[in-house]
Every structure is written in structure tokens, then in C-alpha cells.
Amino acid sequence: MRQCNETKSFTMSTLSWNELFPSKLSFIIFFGYIFLFVNQGILVTASQKSNNQYDYSIVTVVLFTEILKLVISSLLYLRENTSSQLIKDIANNRKVLVLYFVPAFLYCFYNNLAFINLSSFDPTTYYLLLQFRVVVTGILFQVIFRKVLSIKQWISLIILTLGCMLKQINFTQEHNSSQAINKASSVSFGLDAIFIFIQIICSCLAGVYNEYLLKKQGASINIFVQNVFMYLDSIICNLLLLILNGNLFYSFAYDNIAKLFHYKVILVMINNAAIGIVTSFFLKTLNSILKTFASALELVFTALLSYLLFSIPIYLNTVLSILTVMCATFLYSQNPVQNPPKPVQHKAEKEALLQNEEV
């Protein structure tokens, strides 16, 4: 009996599960987020042609996915509310609606910088540099939420960064084409490095600021209304970008629209829409730091499922990456970040508080 109690005490002191997952719902959201992202990679791969190209317009799919997210969020809100209430909530919280242009623009800018940077870097170098998102997220999280991460938390983030970078290193050099090698060696780390740094900042700032809006600035606003704000602003940003690039009519061409109705493309759009909505719940109930760990754990499940479904081999770099990521996750689980949403004051409580102040 004594040995059992000592074992239980050791387990509870080693892994802070209650701090890591405050509720059963947060636990489900965490693994649901990972499942949807892993599933997205599989669905996108399945939607490719034999030459790894797409038969549909990626720009059109992205735009219509944002529209689908907006429709789903609106319908989820209207299950318990009226359309007039939705319009009223939008009007009453138009300041927050405007603030959501910040993450919407950053995500839009990030997506376009990806194409620019992939034209300058080979894929391995690109994804290698992109892993610094983990550390940058930690820095921005401290600045925006005014929280200081512990030494153990920083060590786990650094180990996680190394684990993600290991995934991109090919120790065998077996499948590096000469073109990719020449491209990597000819990279100028001047303007190219600035662009990749801006892309990293856009990704991290968008995520952390989105969490700030969900938990602080818009804590009292229904989460589905906040999703409506996010996707409405995102649609506007994407349309403006298409107009500036002169691709608006191309995106809405009949051939591009018709290809959206293929069942594989529909599955990609539905899964991506689910990711957007689950991400908002993730940031509301958990935090951006844990989100970086969830993204890293996708490497583990994606590698295993890709091997089982598509016979994509698992190399030494993948094994080392998985072990490093698991080590970082274990270390972080001993001392996770706590960032609960701001308590929401109901109307009656606010009126009582004002009366007490007047007295």
C-alpha cells in the first residue's frame, strides 16, 4: 500500500495533468486539434495528382474555406440565438471586429510570404528556419500577456525547437536532388533572411494576439461571434489581396469553382474549416505555448500514418525528431503555462459594482 501511494505521489508530482488540461473538454480539444491537422495533411496528399500537383486552384480553395468557416460559425451561433441578436452583437462589439483585422491580415500575409520564401529557399532550409516559431511564440507570449516563463518551460521550448529542426535534416542525403542542393547553396541570407523572419513573426504574433482577443479584449463575447469576426476580416483581407494581384476573376472562374465539388476537395475544405473553429476553442481554453507542442506532436502522428497509408519511409532524422519532441513534451508537462481567460462579469454584477462605487 505504501509503495502504491509513493508511486502515485511521484506520478502526480512529475506530470501536472490538472494544470496541463484544466478540464476534460480541454483534453479533447488538444487531441482533436492534433487529429484534424494530421488528417489535413493526409487529405491534402490524397487530393494530389500522381505528379504531386493539384488539379484545383489553391487560392480558390483557401478563399472558399474561409467562407465555409464563416457560415459554420454563424450557424453554430444561431442554434441558440436569433439573426437579429447576431447583428446586434456585431454592432455592439465593432471595436473587437476591427481588432480582428490584425490576426486576419497577419495570417494572410504569412500565407503569401510562404510562396515567396519557398522560391528563395529549398524546402528543407525553409522548414528548418520556420521552426524558430516555437521560441518567438514564447517571447511574444511573455510580452503580450506579461507573463514570465520559467527556466524549465524555456528549456522545453528550446528542446522542442531542436526536435522540429531535426525532422528537416537529411542525414543520408539520399533524396536531395542536385537542383535543391544548388538552390540551398546559392541562398543569400540577406533579404531572404529578413523575409523568413517576417513570416515567423506574422505566424507567432497572429496566434498569440488571437489568444489575447479571445481571453482578454473579447472575453465577454460569444466565441462563435468572435469566429465570425475573424473569418469575416480574413475574407476581406484575402479579397483585397486578390484584387491587388489581379487574380480575383481567375479565382471565381467557372472551371475553378467546378473543381471545388470534387469529394476530395470538399473533404479538405471541411476539415480545414473544423481546424479553424477548434483552434479558437484551443486558444480560449488552453494557450499558444501548448499549441506549439500540439503542432510538434503532429510530426509523430503524421510520420507514422504517412508510413502506414502512403508507404513514406521513416528515416533516422524522423526517429530522432520524434524522440526529442517527446522529451520536450514530457519536460513541459511537469510545469505547464497557466493562462486562463479573464473572468466574465455578468450584467447584474456590473450594475451592483457600479452602485457600490457610487455609495
**CA 133/CA 143 separation, integer angstroms:** 15
pTM of the entire structure?
0.80
**CA 126/CA 118 separation, integer angstroms:** 7
Angle at 51 between CA 246 and CA 113, to 5 degrees: 40
C-alpha cell at 171: 542525414
Tell me what pLDDT residue 56 has: 84
Question: Could you count the other beta carbons within 10 Å of the beta carbon of residue 346?
Answer: 9
Q: What are the residue ranges of helices labelled H in 131-215?
A: 133-145, 151-166, 178-185, 191-212
Tell me what pLDDT residue 156 has: 93
Q: Are 291 and 280 in contact (CB under 8 A)?
A: no
Tell me what pLDDT residue 356 has: 47
**CA 74/CA 228 separation, integer angstroms:** 6
Closest-CA residue to 269 (of 28, 61, 57, 26):
61
HEC profile of 331-351: HHHCCCCCCCCCCCCCHHHHH
Phi, psi for 264 (deg, rounded to 5): -70, -40
Residue 227, classed as helix, strand or coil, is helix
Tell me what pLDDT residue 305 has: 80
C-alpha cell at 352: 451592483
Tell me what pLDDT residue 185 has: 42
Residue 167, classed as helix, strand or coil, is coil
C-alpha cell at 84: 437579429
**CA 249/CA 111 separation, integer angstroms:** 20
- The tens-digit pLDDT sequence of the chain (359 residues) is 444 444 444 444 455 677 788 888 999 999 999 999 888 878 887 887 777 678 888 888 888 999 999 999 999 999 999 999 999 999 999 999 999 999 999 988 888 787 677 667 766 677 778 888 899 999 999 999 998 999 999 999 999 999 888 877 777 655 444 444 444 444 455 677 888 889 999 999 999 999 999 999 888 999 999 999 999 999 999 899 888 878 788 888 888 899 889 999 999 999 999 999 999 999 999 999 999 898 888 878 877 887 887 777 888 888 888 889 889 988 898 888 888 887 765 444 444 444 444 44
In Å, how far from its chain's centre is CA 267? 19
Residue 218, classed as helix, strand or coil, is coil
DSSP character for 55? S
Tell me what pLDDT residue 266 has: 93
Tell me what pLDDT residue 49 has: 79
C-alpha cell at 201: 513573426
Contacts of 156 (CB under 8 A, 6+ apart): 328, 329, 331, 332
